[in-house]
A and B are shown apart, each in its own frame.
Chain A
Amino acid sequence: MSIAGRIAAASPARTGDRPFQILLAGMAAAVPVIIGAILVALIAAGWPAIQRFGVRFFVTSTWDPVAGTFGVLPFIYGTVVSSALALLIAIPLGLGAAIFLSELVPGWLRAPIGFLVELLAAIPSVVIGLWGIFVLVPWVRAVLSPVLKSTLGFLPLFSGPPLGIGMLTAGLVLSVMIVPFIVAVSTEVMRAVPRTQREAALALGATGWETTRTAVLPYARSGIVGAIFLALARALGETMAVTMVIGNVPQIRASLFAPAYTIPAVIANEFAEATGDLYLAALVYAGLVLFVVTVAMNALARLLVRRVARGPALIREQ
């Protein structure tokens, strides 16, 4: 029993505590209830497709609304790879920026940079998508892809004709969208690290970087991890900006230059004009798969973090 609960039980005069507790418990319960309700609704609406395709839905690659054959493997692949790519770019970039903003930045510069970061987070995804298709796509095609091809072209990752539209550009666009989340949240949690932590490290003779690495980052870890989860969730569910630059082709290719497709994109693209019960159900089933993929990716990320957290020389929070 919590401390508040114990006090409430001990003194009968505090009659208001009990209803208040129940009220708060109800509010907390709302979240799992909503998640459960969404799950039930998805299963119910997707039932014809679940019955028809079952587990095959996850491992087949044909998406043919005309023939009524549906499989989401290429969409799962596109969703996972584009989000992973985005995290790969955004985590170092975001953490670097956050360390600068919390540890190194001169005072007068902090507010304007912080403001710009928040501004970037506030840009609607369709605007980012337009920027992607008109600015980023030509740049990727004419500049980035040839450079990657001439230096790392021996890898299958950078083979094939660079169209500018494809997985690589989708990852870049997503990284731009999630960087502000990582920067803003990480900066705040790092700034919340008590001064005494830094002073202790410095007093022991640590350099600026050593102080950040041994005193600040471990202390702020759970907040940073939270920021990354938030970023991952946004990347997995992002629809408009991705569909505008990824090429929307349900295929699995090793090359990052090749077009791909994601689950949110196919749902947004096809739902409005989907006729036929099985087709609709397949799209809902795809939504259920996205739900599962999101949970799985989050669990995986948590597991990874727990592994890393076991390392030595890291101070755990109380």
Chain B
Amino acid sequence: MSRHAVRALAAGLVLAALLAGAAPSGAQGVTLNGAGATFPFPLYSKWSQVYAAEKGVQINYQSIGSGGGIRQFIAKTVDFGASDGPMTDEQIAQAGGRVLHIPMVAGAVVPVYNVPGVGPGLNFTPDVLTDIFLGKITKWNDPRLLRHNASFRLPATDIVVVHRSDGSGTTAIWVNYLSKVSAEWKQRVGEGTSVNWPTGLGGKGNEGVAGVVKQTPNSLGYVELAYALTNQMTFGNVQNGAGQFIRPSLSSTTKAMEGALSSIPDDYRVFFTNPAGKDGYPVAGFTWILIYGDQSDPAKAKALVEFLWWATHEGQKYAPTLLYASLPKSLVTRIERTLRSVTAKGSPVMP
């Protein structure tokens, strides 16, 4: 290390020490560390920026993946975890204590395709989607695919199925949906962040799937709605439980949350795929922040709960511009109750 670097490092350490010492007590000057899902990272870093400027609370968020976020959360090396998939009962038992899943925003997963001469808006029924991903429907001009797509001229070519090769919340939502609409999928493949795919090619990340789909004629894959929108990919509609073909969008995702409201349990640990209601897009899921319901440090607990309150209220206005579906009012009211239940050393954190 050069002498300059040493000097710069020393100066930095001194500065950091001064800043830490100068910080006023209370919520201000508290630093909250979190780690987890990559999907909400752009939103969380926006929140962190705005919140630091408005309230003086630093939020450090490391997007290391949901699995890593849950592990860090269980090991209590972070103040909050973040995940695109709910923790299992086993993981909650490992964590010990009351674990709260707080929904932040939702994201939709959409079927994207590249069929020469075919534009956006193909209609997919749940059974057609399942059978394509099970490898049972192999041609684009399969009669079951043609039935709801009379206006399209689909070729007699093989469907090249593309899925995520990396473990991801996007996959978790997609296969959860397929498990809900198909008993065969549930029994043969099941659900999780990675599954044993019956057919298809794997691409790493949304960009990997998008790359393979764009490069391979007659392919069909799935990516996050935000990714499909920003990259102008050709995507289709999915038929919901009420029989309507719904174009995936931020508003149809929020509508899906409203439709699912009565079926969302008190701990929010659910994929609200295939919900009731006729306007909701059926393939969508929450991204959660994980916190302990009984905190040990009152100052930190106050800062944490205040931040989550802000994120689920004022913070929601940043969601649509970053292409996340914001939470419906009815759900936020329920989250308020959950946040009020957080305690620090036995006494409630929120008045």
- Interface residues in chain A, defined as those with a beta carbon under 8 Å from any beta carbon in chain B: 62-67, 133-134, 137-138, 141, 161, 163-165, 243-244, 247-249, 259, 261, 265, 268-276
Evaluate whether A275 and B70 lie within 8 angstroms (CB atoms) in the complex, with A64-B195, A65-B192 already known. yes
CA distance in complex: A247, B88 (Å): 30
CA distance in complex: A96, B204 (Å): 35
For A66, list chain B residues within 8 Å (CB): 189-192, 195-196
Report whether A270 and B190 are in contact in the complex, using a CB–CB cutoff of 8 Å.
Answer: no
For B64, list chain A residues within 8 Å (CB): 272
For B120, list chain A residues within 8 Å (CB): none
For A270, list chain B residues within 8 Å (CB): 166-167, 194
CA distance in complex: A269, B71 (Å): 17
CA distance in complex: A249, B161 (Å): 12
Q: Which of B208-216, B228-236, B281-289 contacts A (4 or more CB under 8 A)?
A: B208-216
- Interface residues in chain B, defined as those with a beta carbon under 8 Å from any beta carbon in chain A: 38, 64-68, 70-71, 85, 88, 90-91, 158, 160, 165-169, 189-197, 200-204, 208, 211-212, 215-216
For B67, list chain A residues within 8 Å (CB): 271-275
Report whether A249 and B197 are in contact in the complex, using a CB–CB cutoff of 8 Å.
Answer: yes
B116 to chain A, nearest CB (A): 13
Consensus secondary structure, chain B interface: loop
For A269, list chain B residues within 8 Å (CB): 165-167, 194, 202, 204
Consensus secondary structure, chain A interface: loop
Report whether B65 and A273 are in contact in the complex, using a CB–CB cutoff of 8 Å.
Answer: yes
CA distance in complex: A137, B208 (Å): 13
Report whether A248 and B189 are in contact in the complex, using a CB–CB cutoff of 8 Å.
Answer: no
A-B contact count (CB 8 A): 103
Report whether A275 and B191 are in contact in the complex, using a CB–CB cutoff of 8 Å.
Answer: no
For A65, list chain B residues within 8 Å (CB): 167, 192-196
Report whether B196 and A67 are in contact in the complex, using a CB–CB cutoff of 8 Å.
Answer: yes
Evaluate whether A134 and B211 lie within 8 angstroms (CB atoms) in the complex, with A161-B158, A247-B201 already known. yes
For B204, list chain A residues within 8 Å (CB): 243-244, 248, 268-269
Report whether A272 and B166 are in contact in the complex, using a CB–CB cutoff of 8 Å.
Answer: yes
Q: List 14 A-B contacts (CB under 8 A).
A: A63-B196, A66-B190, A66-B191, A141-B216, A161-B158, A163-B216, A165-B216, A249-B200, A259-B201, A271-B67, A272-B166, A273-B167, A274-B167, A275-B67
Between B64, B200, B215, the greatest number of chain A beta carbons within 10 A of the residue's beta carbon is seen for B215
Report whether B167 and A137 are in contact in the complex, using a CB–CB cutoff of 8 Å.
Answer: no
CA distance in complex: A67, B204 (Å): 22
For B167, list chain A residues within 8 Å (CB): 65, 269-274
Residue of A nearest to B37 (CB): A273
Residue of A nearest to B64 (CB): A272
Residue of B nearest to A273 (CB): B167
Report whether B165 and A273 are in contact in the complex, using a CB–CB cutoff of 8 Å.
Answer: no
CA distance in complex: A272, B167 (Å): 7
For A275, list chain B residues within 8 Å (CB): 66-67, 70-71, 85, 88, 91, 193
For A272, list chain B residues within 8 Å (CB): 38, 64-65, 67-68, 166-167
CA distance in complex: A243, B64 (Å): 19
Evaluate whether A273 and B212 lie within 8 angstroms (CB atoms) in the complex, with A163-B160, A248-B203, A259-B201 already known. no
User: Which of A141, A244, A265, A273 contacts B168, CB < 8 Å?
Assistant: A273
Residue of B nearest to A274 (CB): B67
A285 to chain B, nearest CB (A): 16
Report whether B196 and A165 are in contact in the complex, using a CB–CB cutoff of 8 Å.
Answer: no
For A164, list chain B residues within 8 Å (CB): 215-216
For A274, list chain B residues within 8 Å (CB): 67, 167, 193-194
Report whether B165 and A64 are in contact in the complex, using a CB–CB cutoff of 8 Å.
Answer: no
CA distance in complex: A265, B167 (Å): 12
CA distance in complex: A141, B216 (Å): 9
A123 to chain B, nearest CB (A): 18
CA distance in complex: A306, B212 (Å): 43
CA distance in complex: A268, B200 (Å): 19
Report whether B189 and A244 are in contact in the complex, using a CB–CB cutoff of 8 Å.
Answer: no
Report whether A137 and B195 are in contact in the complex, using a CB–CB cutoff of 8 Å.
Answer: no
A173 to chain B, nearest CB (A): 14
For A165, list chain B residues within 8 Å (CB): 201, 212, 215-216
For A271, list chain B residues within 8 Å (CB): 67, 167
For A268, list chain B residues within 8 Å (CB): 166, 204
For A244, list chain B residues within 8 Å (CB): 203-204, 208, 211
CA distance in complex: A269, B190 (Å): 19
Residue of A nearest to B158 (CB): A161
For B88, list chain A residues within 8 Å (CB): 275-276
Between B71, B168, B208, the greatest number of chain A beta carbons within 10 A of the residue's beta carbon is seen for B208
